[in-house]
Amino acid sequence: QQPVQSPQAVILREGEDAVINCSSSKALYSVHWYRQKHGEAPIFLMILLKGGEQKGHDKISASFNEKKQQSSLYLTASQLSYSGTYFCGTETKAAGNKLTFGGGTRVLVKP
């Protein structure tokens, strides 16, 4: 089953913050976050493996709440380059190394 991402879209002004959530109905082994620019391939941002783990990439960070079966991606002090569609990919122990992707969250950062 596909993880659910929210919101579906968000519009930000440069410098504003945003949170993207990814929820699964199944127990998760890991959560992967990707960003895709229009017409381009998805680019890997980060993997979260352990419950409660937080990782950061520049001013983009993420957390993983294993108990709640969800992950959140935090865009802090957003930059124009953060615009794109963000996908979470979830991996369950049962599925074994296969990712199931959410429907994506479209982010537009305006000057």
Residues that bind another protein in the complex, under the rule CB under 8 A: 2, 8, 30, 32, 39-44, 47, 49, 87, 89, 91, 97-104
Q: Give the shortest CB-15-to-another protein separation in angstroms.
A: 28
**Nearer to another protein (CB atom), residue 72 or residue 89:** 89
Separation of CA 4 from chain center: 11
Cβ neighbourhood burial of 82 (10 Å; 0-12, 13-18, 19+): buried
Q: Give the shortest CB-35-to-another protein separation in angstroms.
A: 11
* Cα dihedral sign, 7-94-52-89: negative
Q: Give the shortest CB-1-to-another protein separation in angstroms.
A: 10
